[in-house]
C-alpha cells in the first residue's frame, strides 16, 4: 500500500548554512516528519562539523561537507537550496533535479516573467528528466508579496490597487550589511548609486506577474522611486556609526502599471531607527503589511508574535526558512515540474503540532 502524505518521512539535504539555512536545519532536526541526511557548506571552517553544532543544536550525526558529488550521490527526497546570491546556479540546481531530488529554494525563480522564462524552461526540462519538482519560495518574493495578497483577494468584490509594505528596522536588528545597504553614505551619493540595483524590480516582477495574471490584468511597465531620510544625530550600532546628515532611511517603491494606472506597489522601508528625518509612516519594527484599495478595502499587518522562539538579525528572517520547509512535503508529492504557488495551492505542512523545544540563538 502506498505511503500517504501524512505518514511519509521526507529525507532532506540543507544546501548552505547561512541565516536561512541554519533556521532550516533546526526545523528539519526538530520536526519528526523530516530526516536530515546531508548538509553542504562552502566555508572551509564548517567542513567536517556536525550539522547540529552549525545550528546551535546537539549533534545529529550528519556531517557537513563541501563535496558536491557526495551530496548529489545521497539518497534524498529534497534539497533546501539556500546559498547566497540572487538566482540559484542553474547547472547545480539542474544536476540536483536530474539526480532525483526535488528542490525548494528561497532564491527563486518564483514565477515566469520575460527575465525568468528561459531559466525556468531549463529547470522544467531537468524536472522532467529526473521525475522531480522545483519550487521557488521565500518571504518577499514568495509569500508576503504574492501568496498573502492572493489569499486576501477572496474577500474582495473589486480591486483598485494593491500595496505591499516591507519594513526593516536595522537599528533594532543590526546586521553586517548596514554599510553595504547604503546607510551612512551621503544622500547625493546614494541617489546617484542606489543600494538596490536598477535590476531589482525584476525580482519583484515575479510576484507582481503572479498577482496580475491571477486577476486577468496585463502589466505594461514597472517603475522605481527612492526617497531618502537622513540621521538627525550620530546613530551608533554594533558595527559602526551612521553619522548625522548621512542616509539613515530608504523608501523604495516598485510599481506595476496596468491599463495606464498603478495596480501593484511594493514599498521597501529600511530605517536605522527613529532618529531620522523625514520619519516614514511605516510602523516601527520589522513587519509586512498588505493594503488593498477597492471594495471592501483591506489592511493586514504581519509581525512576529511575542513568544517567537528565535533571535536573529532581522525579526522576520526565520520565516523565509519555514515558508520553504513547510512546502517540501507537497512539492515532493507533486507531479514533476516547476511548481509555483498557483499550482501548489494551500500546502499541508507536516509535524508542526508538537511540544516546544529549547530556544536557540541563531547567529
Ligand atoms: N525570497 C526571500 O524572501 C528571501 C529572504 C531571505 C533570503 N533569501 C535568499 O536566501 C538565500 C540565503 O539567505 P541567507 O540570509 O541565509 O544568506 P547568507 O546568510 O548571506 O549566506 C548563505 C550561505 O551561502 C554560502 N555562501 C557564502 N558565500 C557564498 C558565495 N559566494 N556563493 C554561494 N554561496 C555562498 C555560505 O554557506 P556556508 O556558511 O554553509 O558555507 C553562507 O552562509 C540567499 O540567496 C537570499 O537571497 C530570500
Q: What is the pLDDT of residues 17-26, one digit of tens each?
A: 999 999 999 9
Whether 14 and 91 share a structural domain: yes
The closest alpha carbon to 159, from 66, 29, 295, belongs to 295
The pick from 14, 83, 177 for probing ligand 1's pocket by mutation, whose C-beta has the most ligand atoms within 8 angstroms, reads: 83
Q: Is residue 309 part of a domain?
A: no
Residue 305: its pLDDT value, please?
Answer: 67
Instruction: Indicate the pTM of the whole model.
Output: 0.93
Residue 313: its pLDDT value, please?
Answer: 45
Whether 67 and 121 share a structural domain: yes
CA 304 – ligand 1 centroid, Å: 22
Q: Is residue 51 part of a domain?
A: yes
Contact partners, residue 214, CB within 8 Å, separation at least 6: 150, 153, 342
CA 100 – ligand 1 centroid, Å: 24
Contact partners, residue 162, CB within 8 Å, separation at least 6: 149, 211, 263, 264, 265, 290, 291, 292, 293
Grid cell for residue 343: 499550482
Q: What are the φ and ψ backbone dihedral angles of 284, each rounded to 5 degrees?
A: -115, 5
3-state secondary structure 287-343: EEEEEEEEECCEEEEECCCCCCCCCCCCCCHHHHHHHHHHHHHHHHHCCCEECCHHH
Nearest CA to ligand 1 atom 4: 138
Q: Is residue 1 part of a domain?
A: no
Whether 70 and 18 share a structural domain: yes
Residue 281: its pLDDT value, please?
Answer: 86
Residue 313: how many other CB atoms lie within 10 Å: 17
Q: Is residue 363 part of a domain?
A: no
Whether 296 and 195 share a structural domain: yes
Q: Is residue 247 part of a domain?
A: yes
The pick from 16, 44, 199, 325 for probing ligand 1's pocket by mutation, whose C-beta has the most ligand atoms within 8 angstroms, reads: 16
Whether 299 and 321 share a structural domain: no
Whether 183 and 201 share a structural domain: yes
Tell me the CB-side half-sphere exposure of residue 269, using CA atoms within 13 A.
23
Q: Is residue 275 part of a domain?
A: yes
Residue 255: its pLDDT value, please?
Answer: 97
Whether 176 and 58 share a structural domain: no
Whether 213 and 256 share a structural domain: yes
CA 228 – ligand 1 centroid, Å: 27
Whether 172 and 297 share a structural domain: yes
CA 16 – ligand 1 centroid, Å: 7
Q: How many domains does the chain have?
A: 2
CA 239 – ligand 1 centroid, Å: 20
Pick the atom of ligand 1 nearest to 141's CA: 1
Residue 316: its pLDDT value, please?
Answer: 66
Residue 314: its pLDDT value, please?
Answer: 54
Residue 96, domain CATH:
3.40.50.720
Whether 110 and 35 share a structural domain: yes
Residue 286: its pLDDT value, please?
Answer: 75
Q: Is residue 336 part of a domain?
A: yes
Pick the atom of ligand 1 nearest to 43's CA: 41
The closest alpha carbon to 76, from 129, 14, 146, belongs to 14
Q: Which residues of the chain have pLDDT under 50?
A: 1, 307, 309-313
- CA 271 to chain centroid, in Å, comes to 20
Residue 303: its pLDDT value, please?
Answer: 83
Judge if the beta carbon of residue 363 lies within 6 A of ligand 1. Answer: no
Whether 205 and 56 share a structural domain: no
CA 320 – ligand 1 centroid, Å: 11
CA dihedral (330, 333, 338, 342) positive or negative: negative
275, 303, 331: which is the final residue of a domain?
303
- Rounded distance, CA 206 to CA 195, Å? 20
Residue 173: its pLDDT value, please?
Answer: 85
Nearest CA to ligand 1 atom 2: 138
Whether 69 and 174 share a structural domain: no
Judge if the beta carbon of residue 225 lies within 6 A of ligand 1. Answer: no
- Rounded distance, CA 358 to CA 310, Å? 10
- Rounded distance, CA 129 to CA 99, Å? 9
Structural domain that includes position 66: 10-138+317-344
Q: Is residue 3 part of a domain?
A: no
| 122, containing H or E segment | helix 117-130
- Rounded distance, CA 315 to CA 127, Å? 34
Residue 274: its pLDDT value, please?
Answer: 93
Amino acid at each position: 500500500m502506498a505511503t500517504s502524505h501524512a505518514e511519509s518521512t521526507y529525507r532532506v539535504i540543507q544546501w548552505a548554512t547561512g541565516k536561512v539555512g541554519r533556521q532550516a536545519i533546526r526545523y528539519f532536526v526538530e520536526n519528526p516528519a523530516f530526516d536530515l541526511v546531508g548538509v553542504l557548506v562552502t566555508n572551509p571552517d564548517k567542513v567536517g562539523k556536525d550539522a547540529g553544532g552549525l545550528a546551535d543544536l546537539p549533534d545529529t550525526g550528519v556531517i557537513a561537507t563541501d563535496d558536491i558529488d557526495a551530496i548529489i550521490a545521497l539518497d534524498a527526497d529534497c534539497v533546501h537550496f539556500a546559498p547566497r546570491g540572487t538566482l540559484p546556479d542553474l547547472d547545480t540546481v539542474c544536476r540536483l533535479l536530474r539526480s532525483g531530488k526535488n528542490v525548494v529554494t528561497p532564491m527563486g525563480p518564483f514565477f515566469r516573467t520575460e527575465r525568468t522564462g528561459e531559466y525556468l524552461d531549463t529547470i522544467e526540462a531537468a524536472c522532467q528528466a529526473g521525475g522531480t519538482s522545483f519550487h521557488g519560495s521565500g518571504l518577499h518574493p514568495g509569500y508576503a508579496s504574492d501568496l498573502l495578497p492572493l489569499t486576501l483577494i477572496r474577500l474582495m468584490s473589486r480591486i483598485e490597487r494593491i500595496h505591499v509594505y516591507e519594513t526593516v528596522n536595522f537599528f533594532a536588528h543590526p546586521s553586517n550589511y548596514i554599510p553595504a545597504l547604503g546607510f551612512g553614505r551621503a544622500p547625493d551619493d546614494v541617489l546617484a548609486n542606489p543600494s538596490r540595483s536598477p535590476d531589482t524590480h525584476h525580482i519583484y516582477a515575479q510576484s507582481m506577474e503572479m498577482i496580475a495574471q491571477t486577476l486577468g490584468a496585463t502589466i505594461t511597465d514597472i517603475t522605481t522611486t527612492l526617497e531618502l531620510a537622513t540621521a538627525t544625530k550620530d546613530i551608533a550600532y554594533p558595527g559602526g556609526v551612521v553619522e548625522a546628515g548621512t542616509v539613515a532611511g530608504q523608501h523604495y517603491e516598485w510599481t506595476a502599471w496596468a491599463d495606464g494606472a498603478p495596480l501593484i506597489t511594493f514599498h521597501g522601508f529600511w530605517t536605522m531607527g527613529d532618529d531620522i528625518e523625514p520619519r516614514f509612516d511605516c510602523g516601527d519594527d520589522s513587519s509586512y503589511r498588505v493594503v488593498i484599495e477597492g471594495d471592501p478595502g483591506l489592511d493586514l499587518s504581519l509581525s512576529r508574535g511575542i513568544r517567537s522562539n528565535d533571535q536573529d538579525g532581522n525579526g522576520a528572517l526565520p520565516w523565509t526558512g519555514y515558508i520553504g520547509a513547510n512546502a517540501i512535503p507537497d512539492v515532493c508529492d507533486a507531479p514533476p515540474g516547476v511548481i509555483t504557488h498557483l499550482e501548489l495551492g494551500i500546502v499541508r505542512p507536516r509535524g508542526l503540532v508538537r511540544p516546544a523545544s529549547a530556544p536557540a540563538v541563531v547567529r
